[in-house]
Structure formats: C-alpha cells, structure tokens
C-alpha cells in the first residue's frame, strides 16, 4: 500500500472547485471553457482512482474516462466553434456583452 | 311508418344547401348559386307534396289520420325522465305546414332569382333562405316541445340574418336587432313555460302531452302564483313565446321594422311562415289549452282581438306599402289566434261546434300564407319597378304592370273576403267560430274584417289607380322569374278555398264537412263590400276626400299614423327607466368593481414582476452560483439527516 | 525505494495540479491560463501512468494535451491580442465565487474523509494489456463496450458536421 486513495481524491476535489471558481468568476468565454475542462478532468481522475483502488478487476471507470475524454474533445470543438462565431458577430467574447436576450 | 322513411331528406337537403352555399357560395356565380338553391328547394317541395299525398291517402283509423313519427331518436339523455329527442312528427297540421312552407319558399326562391338579380351577397342570400327553410321545416315536424324550441331559435336567427341582409344600411341593422331582441325576450317566457310544463308533466313529447295521458291540471294541482294556477302560468308563458314570434300585441313592434329586409324575405318569413309559428304552437298544444286551461285560451282571445283591431286601424293610415302589408299580416295572424281562442271544446261535428275555430284557424293559416305571400311578392314587383316603398311614388300603375295588377287584385279580394277567393272561406269560418262563442267577438271580428277590406283596397287603389305619380323612367312589368310565382300563387289563391279542409284538419281528426253559415257569410260579404266601396269612393279618383276625412279625425289619424306611439313607449321604458335606473348602476358596478378587481390583480402582478425580474437576469454565471448553492444546501441537509 | 520514488512523484504531480489549476482560473492572461491547463492535463496523465493505466495516460496526452489545448490556443489567438489582460474581477463576484468554491470543497472533503470506502484492493502492476482493452471495447458481451463506442462515433460525426455548420462563414 503506497499512496492512500484519499490523496488522489483530495487533489481532484481541489481541482474541481478551482474549476467551479473559474466558471463563476471569469468573463472570457474561453476561460470559462478552460474551467469547465478542469472540472471534467477532476471527475475523470475520480473515476480512474475508484476503479483502480476499489474494483481493480474491472474496467468500468477506465472506459468511462475514455469516453469522457472523447466527449470532452467533441464538446470543446463545438464550443470553440460557437465562441468563434460569437466573436465574428460582436467582436469580443465576454459573457457580459452577450446581452441580446437579457434584462 | 316505413313509407315515410325518406322524410328526413326534407330536413337534410336544405341544411346541405345552406352549408354548401354558405361555405362555397362565394366561389360560385350568382346564377349557379341561385339555381342550386332553387332546384334543391324544388326537390324538397316535391317530396313534401309526396308526403302530403301519401299521408292524406292513408286509410283512416277510427275516422282519424294516425300520427306518424318516422324518426324519433334520443339526442340528449340527462336523467331517466329528462330526455331530449329529435325526430319527425307527421300529423295533419304538420303535413299541411310542410306543404305551405315548401310552396311559399319555392315561389320566393324563384322570385328572388329576378328580384335579387345582381345584388351583392346573392349567394349569401340563398344560403340564408335555405337555412330558414331548414329551421322552419324542423320547427313544424318537431316531435317534442324542446326540439321545437331549438328550431324556434333557429328561425329567429335566420330571420335576424335576413332582415339585416343589407347590413350596410343603418336602419336594417337596427331592425334586425329589434326583431331579434323582442323575439328573444318573448322566447324567455317560452322557455320558462316549457320548463314549467315539462316539470309538471315530466315530458316534452307533444304526443304524450296532447293525447290526454298526462293531465297538467292534475300534476300541477294546488300550485299557484299571484293567484293564478301554475298550469295557467305555464301555458300563458308558452303563448308569450308564440306571441313574440307572431307579433301579437304588445310584442308586435318588431314586425313593421322587419320590412327592412328584402321583400321576398318579408313574403316568406314575415308573412307566410315564421310569423305563423305562434299560431302553429298554440294549435300544436291545442288539446292542452282547450281542455286544461280554458282561462288562458280566453286571454289569448283577448290579446288576439286587440291586436287584430289595433293593427287594422294602423294599417289604414300607413303610407309605406310594405308597412301596410306588415300591419295587415299582424291583423290576419290575430284572426287565426282569435279563432283558436274562441274554441270551447275539441268537438267538431254536426252536434258540437266548439272546435270549429281550430279548423278555421288552420284553414286561414293556409290560405293567408298563399295570398299574403302573393301580396308581398306583388309589392316587391312594384317596388322593383318604381324604386320606392311610398304610396306617393306610385299611382296609376295598372297600365304598366298588368300581371302584377291582376294578381294583386286577386289577393286583395281574397284577403277582403270576397267569394269565391280563398280568403272568404277561411275568414268566414273564423267569423262563424267567433259568433259561436259570443256575439261580441263575432261583431268585433266582423268590424276588423271590414277594416281589412278597406285598407287593402286603399292600398290597391293608391298603387294602381289614383293620381299618376311622376316617374323617373317608365315603370315596366317585372321579369318572368318574378311573374311566374305571382301567377302561380294567384291561381292557388283563387282555388284554395274549395279544398275540403275539414276533411283533413280538425281538432279531433274526424272528418267534418264545411258548410257555409249564410247569415254569417252574408254579413261578412256585406261588410267587405262596404269597406271596398268606401275605399273606392275615397281613393279611386284623385280627390281631397281622404285629406278632409283625416282632418276631421285629426287626433285619431295622428295616433294611428304613429302606431299609437308604441315604439315610443318601449323606448321610454327601456331607455328612460330600465337603462337609467337598472343598467347604469350595473354598468357602473361592472366597470368599477368587477373590472377594478381584475385591474388590481393585473397591476399587482405587474408591480411584483417588475421588482423581481432581476432574478431572471439571463446571466448564466449567476444561475450557476444559485444552482451550486442549491445543490450544496441539499447535500448539506442530506448529510445532516444521515 | 521504489515506493518512496512513487510517493515523491505523486506529491510533485499533486502540487503541479493544485497550483496550476488555481493559476489557470486566476490568471488574467488567457494564453497563460491555457498553458496552466496544459500542465494540469499533463500532471493528470502522470496520475494515470502512476495508476498503471498507461493507455489512458497516452490518450489523455494525445487528445487533451495534444488536441484540445491546441484548439484552445488557436481560438485564443484568433479572439484576443497577445499580452491582453482581462478586466479585473469585481470583488462581489470574486466573493461569491470563493464562497461557492470553498464551501463546496469543504463539504466534499468532509464527506470524503468521513466516508468508509470499501477496503482497498490495490494491486500494483495490474496493468491491462492492449489486447484485453481492445476486446472489451469491441465486444458485445457483458462489461463490453461496443454500443457506447458506436454512440461516441456517431456523436463525433455529429460534432464534425455541427462544427462546420456553426463556424462556416455566411
């Protein structure tokens, strides 16, 4: 027994809430997307760690992570496409300026 | 009875015509629409004649024509006893009405091809005519009083539509509203009457009501209101509905105004068919009236007699020819009502004559429909020729319009009661029935008959004789489509009197041979001739006698000319009393309290939403924060509970 | 000895992850934030390697570090000038963000620390070979993943089409 499982989990928790902080505070759409990636990554770590430590004979967490990575890639690609489109229309990518439908 | 299975087509076809013309009419040419409507009605007329022929050639059972109900299905069933049915009831009077309605309607359809030629809304006109025919046929074949009420309202609605046919004309709109509101008001009484009647007898069915199996007197025994028994109230209120439709005093005010509609419509609806619905209603429930509530029958007689005299007097001084005819219609319908009212029993045979009035009334309904339709259609032809309703614009038209002249004269002779025209026979029976009841009613009605002869010939002479008015262009005879119906109706008017009507329609159903009571007949002929002679003396040649006569009875003339100020009384009552002291406070309450409550709610909502709209900011990040805190809160609560 | 080395590497990676993820969300230069994200992703790949999921680590590096971050960098370069600093975050906003993050982290950590997990069955060196992974990915039996695999492929196709549709010039 080398590194207790809880260490990994604590690290991923910190990473996740760093992502939350960024998601709530940042104005730049790309920065928000970066925060989102952090959160996703933290979850991936949790899957892998639980898989390794609690069910080493199976691969559920492994495949979840694998698919999550694929989905994250797809999601990022689409999100960036949207962001670039927004940039084209309003010449910047700050959330505050996306107020066409806002009060 | 299976042989009448086709009778539903009589109802279905005009309905289909209405739907077709109403929905697709604007796509058709005038000619197509008119021909479609007319040919549809022609088929219905033929069917109605076949029904009549088959019905009256059926073998009699115990000397009586059996009542046939080819169709009667349950439409609405609320409770065990509260069942509303729809069906077709054939008995002598409904079959007779089928013939009358389809004949007059067909004539009007043909006539309108010429009269309405080129009018905008021609297709709409035919659609409405079909709707009216449908409703009226449904009314007469109703198997129960509720079905009758449904169609009763339908004829009211189609009458409204047709009176207001020229809806761009202010007066037509006002007239249609007036007709609708007055008849609706009367129908309120009708509905209450229906409810009372069916509450006590537990049935809507005409057959059950009239064959003596339920007795209103027994079931409503002991119940009274304002000293009048519930049975009388029920029957009187039902008559109120009939009085509204048949323009009986004091609910007659809508009929003269209804002349704003196209003239063929006046002929069909406001002379021959719809306005006799009240008479038909009383005839339908005749056994109930005559056996169980003779007091109401007395009341009906009084109303009818007053109306007859009143309308006849007013008709003597009107100058608008359609209004003269309208008042004449009111007066003639009042004749029928009186005839029903003076009946004392169901018996009609060589021993007892208590039910003579019933037969006379139906007979007069039949003949009147024909000659009054003829008069209206003739008037239409005249208006068509001179483009005016006023007598002063006419005069001396006999040279220009020979066919109209002859047919109009025949109709005038018929309505005046000169043998051998149809009006004489039916009116004579009515007078005989009135004399049977008491000499007072007999003399009263004879006086009205004299007045009838007078005002009809005043009209006739003013139109066709007298001083020739200046015409913009020479009047010409109406086109063939208009004269053919005139000629047909004139022929019917000449010979309808010889129909042995007593063989077909009597209160008990037993055959009865009409025999003229020459005392009565002689009197009535004499009175009619006096009336005609007076009119001839006054109006045949242009002179100043009418003016002098009017001057000598100045106040009566003015009062009659203004129809005894009934419209003004109504206006006073509604505007000055009801509107001011009842409606105005209600309107205030509605505007300030009811609307105020609603407005308050709206304002409060608006105020609240204005102040909380910041929550719905659209900022994704603030949503995320709120969501996160919510999730944390839930997690926290779960943790605490564990 | 090997254990100690593993622990040292773990702590190094953890430090990189914690520091870089915090820097990634606080840096006012967006390109730097992307770079810190790259470090975080690399460190995460390190975790995977340490946990003997070598294939996953490789995937992490190729897709995340190699693909996504490059996308980010392109997007950043397209949408902002070099050296541009983002506006300062207002203190209320920062306060709410911190409150949310810290309270959430506290709640999660408390839960994790007090929760009794299954007894750990860690088996060092239990690496799965590629053949087994491939069979599981393509198999149709229980605990095999052909259906999600195909679903992902359809998703990716949809993304390609969607990306083109959204980004193309009109």
**B422-450 pLDDT, tens digit each:** 888 888 888 888 887 888 888 888 888 88
In order of their start, the domains of chain A are 5-97 (1.10.287.3510)
B149-158, B171-180, C114-123: least confident range: C114-123
| Residues of chain A contacting C156 with CB distance shorter than 8 Å | 70, 74
CA-nearest residue of chain A to B612?
Answer: A103
B-C Cβ pairs (cutoff 8 Å, strict):
16
| Residues of chain B contacting C110 with CB distance shorter than 8 Å | 639
| Residues of chain C contacting B639 with CB distance shorter than 8 Å | 107, 110-111
Segment B2-11 shows an average pLDDT of 81
CA-nearest residue of chain A to B617?
Answer: A103
Nearest Cα neighbor of B211 from B132, B314, B288 is: B288
Residue B451 near residue B445, CB atoms below 8 Å: no
More confident residue, B602 or B451: B602
pTM for the model stands at 0.68
Interface of A with C in 53-92 (CB under 8 A): 53-60, 62-63, 65-67, 69-78, 80-85, 87-88, 92
**Interface pTM, i.e. ipTM:** 0.89
For residue B628, give the nearest of C104, C110, C111 by CB distance.
C104
| Residues of chain A contacting C152 with CB distance shorter than 8 Å | 67, 70-71
More confident residue, B133 or B206: B133
How many CB atoms lie under 10 A from the CB of residue B202?
12
| Residue C170: per-residue pLDDT | 64
**Most confident among A35-44, A56-65, B24-33 (mean pLDDT):** A35-44
Give the distance from residue A90's alpha carbon to the nearest chain C alpha carbon, in angstroms: 11
| Residues of chain B contacting A99 with CB distance shorter than 8 Å | 618
For residue C128, give the nearest of A10, A28, A59 by CB distance.
A59
Q: First and final CA of chain B: distance in angstroms? A: 82
Q: Which of A6, A31, A45, A48 to mutate to test the interface with C (most CBs of C within 10 A)?
A: A31
Segment B192-206 shows an average pLDDT of 84
Q: Where are the domains positioned within chain C?
A: 1-84, 116-170
Check if A3 contacts B (Cβ < 8 Å): no
Burial of C50 (0-12, 13-18, 19+ CB in 10 A): middle
Segment A9-18 shows an average pLDDT of 93
CA gap A9, B313 in Å, rounded: 110
Give the distance from residue B184's alpha carbon to the nearest chain A alpha carbon, in angstroms: 54
Class of domain C1-84: mainly alpha
| Residue C38: per-residue pLDDT | 93
| Residue B641: per-residue pLDDT | 85
Instruction: Inform me whether the pLDDT recorded for A102 exceeds 60.
Output: no
B136-150, B525-539, B580-594, B601-615: least confident range: B525-539
Phi, psi of C13 (to 5 degrees): -60, -40
Segment C150-166 shows an average pLDDT of 89
For residue B621, give the nearest of A24, A99, A101 by CB distance.
A24
Alpha carbon separation from B571 to B310, B560, B561 (Å, rounded):
19, 18, 17
| Residue B363: per-residue pLDDT | 87
| Residue B75: per-residue pLDDT | 84
Segment B550-562 shows an average pLDDT of 76
Give the distance from residue A35's alpha carbon to the nearest chain C alpha carbon, in angstroms: 6
More confident residue, B29 or B221: B29
Check if C95 contacts B (Cβ < 8 Å): no
Task: Give pLDDT tens digits for B570-596.
Answer: 888 888 888 888 888 999 999 999 999
Check if A9 contacts B (Cβ < 8 Å): no
CA-nearest residue of chain B to C105?
Answer: B632
Q: B579 is written with which tokens?
A: 């509107």
More confident residue, B320 or C121: B320
Are B632 and C96 a contacting pair at CB < 8 A?
no
CA atoms within 13 A on the CB side of B255: 32
| Residue B467: per-residue pLDDT | 73
Check if A101 contacts B (Cβ < 8 Å): yes
Give the distance from residue B619's alpha carbon to the nearest chain A alpha carbon, in angstroms: 8
Are A77 and C71 a contacting pair at CB < 8 A?
yes
Are C72 and A17 a contacting pair at CB < 8 A?
no
Segment C75-85 shows an average pLDDT of 82
For residue A24, give the nearest of B613, B618, B625 by CB distance.
B625
Pairing of strands B68-77, B83-90: antiparallel
Task: Give pLDDT tens digits for C118-157.
Answer: 776 666 556 778 888 888 888 888 888 899 999 999 999 9
DSSP state, residue C7:
H
Q: What is the DSSP string of B92-157?
A: HHHHHHHHHHHHHHHHHHHHHHHHTTT-TTHHHHHHHHHHHHHHHHHHHT-SBHHHHHHHHHHHHH
Burial of B586 (0-12, 13-18, 19+ CB in 10 A): exposed
Pairing of strands B68-77, B228-229: unpaired
| Residue A103: per-residue pLDDT | 43
Task: Give pLDDT tens digits for B505-527.
Answer: 777 777 777 777 777 788 888 88
How many CB atoms lie under 10 A from the CB of residue B61?
9
| Residues of chain A contacting C12 with CB distance shorter than 8 Å | none
Segment B148-157 shows an average pLDDT of 90
The three-state secondary structure class of A100 is coil
Segment B597-620 shows an average pLDDT of 87
Task: Give pLDDT tens digits for A16-33.
Answer: 999 999 998 888 888 999
Check if C107 contacts B (Cβ < 8 Å): yes
CA atoms within 13 A on the CB side of B171: 7
CA-nearest residue of chain C to B632?
Answer: C104
| Residues of chain B contacting C111 with CB distance shorter than 8 Å | 635, 639
Q: Which of A1, A4, A9, A15 to mutate to test the interface with C (most CBs of C within 10 A)?
A: A15
CA gap B113, B117 in Å, rounded: 6
CA gap B176, B159 in Å, rounded: 8
pLDDT band at C35 (very low <50, low <70, confident <90, very high): very high
Q: What is the DSSP string of C32-92?
A: HHHHHHHHHHHHHHHHHHHTT-HHHHHHIIIIIIIIIHHHHHHHHHHHS-TTPBPPPPPHH
Segment B594-621 shows an average pLDDT of 88
| Residues of chain B contacting A20 with CB distance shorter than 8 Å | 628
Instruction: Inform me whether the pLDDT recorded for C44 exceeds 90.
Output: yes
Report chain B's mean pLDDT, rounded to a whole number: 84
Segment C85-99 shows an average pLDDT of 84
């Amino acid at each position: 027994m080398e590194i207790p499982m809880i260490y990994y989990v604590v690290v991923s928790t910190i990473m996740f809430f760093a992502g939350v902080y960024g998601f709530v505070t940042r104005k730049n759409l790309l920065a928000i997307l970066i925060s989102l990636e952090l959160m996703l990554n933290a979850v991936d770590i949790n899957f892998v760690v639980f898989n390794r430590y609690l069910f080493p004979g199976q691969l559920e967490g492994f495949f979840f992570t694998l698919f999550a990575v694929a989905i994250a890639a797809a999601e990022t690609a689409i999100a960036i496409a949207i962001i670039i489109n927004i940039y084209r229309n309003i010449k910047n990518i700050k959330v505050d300026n996306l107020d066409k439908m806002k009060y | 009875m299976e042989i009448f299975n086709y009778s539903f087509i009589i109802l279905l076809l005009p309905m289909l015509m209405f739907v077709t013309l109403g929905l697709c009419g604007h796509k058709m040419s005038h000619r197509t629409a008119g021909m479609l409507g007319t040919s549809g009605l022609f088929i219905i007329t033929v069917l109605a004649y076949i029904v009549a022929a088959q019905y009256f050639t059926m073998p009699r059972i115990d000397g009586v024509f059996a009542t046939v109900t080819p169709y009667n299905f349950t439409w609405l069933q609320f409770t065990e006893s509260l069942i509303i049915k729809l069906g077709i009831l054939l008995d002598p009077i409904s079959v007779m009405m089928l013939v009358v309605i389809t004949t007059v309607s067909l004539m009007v359809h043909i006539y309108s091809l010429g009269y309405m030629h080129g009018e905008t809304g021609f297709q709409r006109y035919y659609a409405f005519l079909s709707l009216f025919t449908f409703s009226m046929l449904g009314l007469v074949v109703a198997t129960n009083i509720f079905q009758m009420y449904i169609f009763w309202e339908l004829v009211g609605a189609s009458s409204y539509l047709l009176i207001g046919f020229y809806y761009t004309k202010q007066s037509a709109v006002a007239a249609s509203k007036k007709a609708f509101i007055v008849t609706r008001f009367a129908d309120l009484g009708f509905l209450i009457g229906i409810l009372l009647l069916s509450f006590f007898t537990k049935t809507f069915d005409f057959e059950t009501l009239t064959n003596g199996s339920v007795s209103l007197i027994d079931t409503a025994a002991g119940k009274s209101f304002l000293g009048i028994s519930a049975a009388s109230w029920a029957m009187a209120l039902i008559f109120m509905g009939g009085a509204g439709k048949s323009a009986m005093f004091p609910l007659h005010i809508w009929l003269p105004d209804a002349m704003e509609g196209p003239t063929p419509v006046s002929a069909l609806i406001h002379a021959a068919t719809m306005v006799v619905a009240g008479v038909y209603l009383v005839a339908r429930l005749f056994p109930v009236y005559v056996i169980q509530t003779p007091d109401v029958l007395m009341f009906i007689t009084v109303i009818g007699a007053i109306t007859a005299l009143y309308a006849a007097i007013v008709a003597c001084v009107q100058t608008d020819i359609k209004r003269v005819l309208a008042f004449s219609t009111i007066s003639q319908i009042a004749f029928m009502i009186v005839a029903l009212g003076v009946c004392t029993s169901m018996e009609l045979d060589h021993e007892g004559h208590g039910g003579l009035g019933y037969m006379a009334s139906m007979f007069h309904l039949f003949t009147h429909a024909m000659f009054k339709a003829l008069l209206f259609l003739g008037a239409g032809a005249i208006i068509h020729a001179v483009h005016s309703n006023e007598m002063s614009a006419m005069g001396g038209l006999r040279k220009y319009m020979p066919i109209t002249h002859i047919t109009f004269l025949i109709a005038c002779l018929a309505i005046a009661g000169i043998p051998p025209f149809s009006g004489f026979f039916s009116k004579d029976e009515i007078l005989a029935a009135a004399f049977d009841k008491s000499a007072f009613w007999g003399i009263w009605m004879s006086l009205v008959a004299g007045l009838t002869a007078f005002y009809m010939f005043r009209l006739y002479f003013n139109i066709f004789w007298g001083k020739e008015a200046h015409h913009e262009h020479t009047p010409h005879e109406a086109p063939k489509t208009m004269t053919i119906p005139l000629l047909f109706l004139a022929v019917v008017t000449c010979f309808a009197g010889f129909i042995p009507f007593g063989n077909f329609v009597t209160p008990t159903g037993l055959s009865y041979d009409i025999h003229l009571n020459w005392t009565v007949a002689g009197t009535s002929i004499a009175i009619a001739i006096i009336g005609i002679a007076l009119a001839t003396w006054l109006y045949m040649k242009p002179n100043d006698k009418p003016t002098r006569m009017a001057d000598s009875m100045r106040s009566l003339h003015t009062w009659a000319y203004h129809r005894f100020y009934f419209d003004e009384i109504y206006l006073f009552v509604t505007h000055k009393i009801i509107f001011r002291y009842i409606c105005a406070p209600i309107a205030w309450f509605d505007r300030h309290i009811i609307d105020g409550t609603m407005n308050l709610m709206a304002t409060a909502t608006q105020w609240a939403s204005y102040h909380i709209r910041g929550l719905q900011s659209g900022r994704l990040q603030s949503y995320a924060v709120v969501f996160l805190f919510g999730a944390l809160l839930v997690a926290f609560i779960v943790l605490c509970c564990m | 000895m090997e254990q100690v080395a593993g622990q040292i590497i773990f702590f190094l990676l953890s430090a990189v992850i914690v520091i870089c993820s915090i820097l990634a969300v606080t840096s006012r230069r967006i390109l730097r934030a992307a770079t810190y994200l790259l470090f975080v992703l690399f460190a995460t790949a390190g975790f995977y390697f340490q946990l003997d999921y070598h294939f996953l680590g490789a995937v992490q590096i190729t897709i995340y570090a190699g693909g996504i971050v490059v996308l980010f960098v392109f997007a950043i370069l397209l949408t902002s000038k070099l050296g541009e600093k983002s506006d300062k975050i207002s203190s209320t906003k920062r306060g709410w963000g911190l409150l949310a993050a810290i309270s959430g982290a506290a709640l999660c950590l408390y839960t994790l620390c007090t929760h009794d997990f299954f007894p750990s069955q860690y088996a060092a060196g239990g690496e799965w070979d590629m053949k087994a992974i491939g069979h599981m990915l393509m198999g149709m039996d229980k605990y095999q993943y052909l259906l999600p695999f195909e679903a992902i492929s359809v998703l990716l196709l949809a993304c390609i089409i969607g990306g083109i549709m959204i980004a193309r010039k009109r």
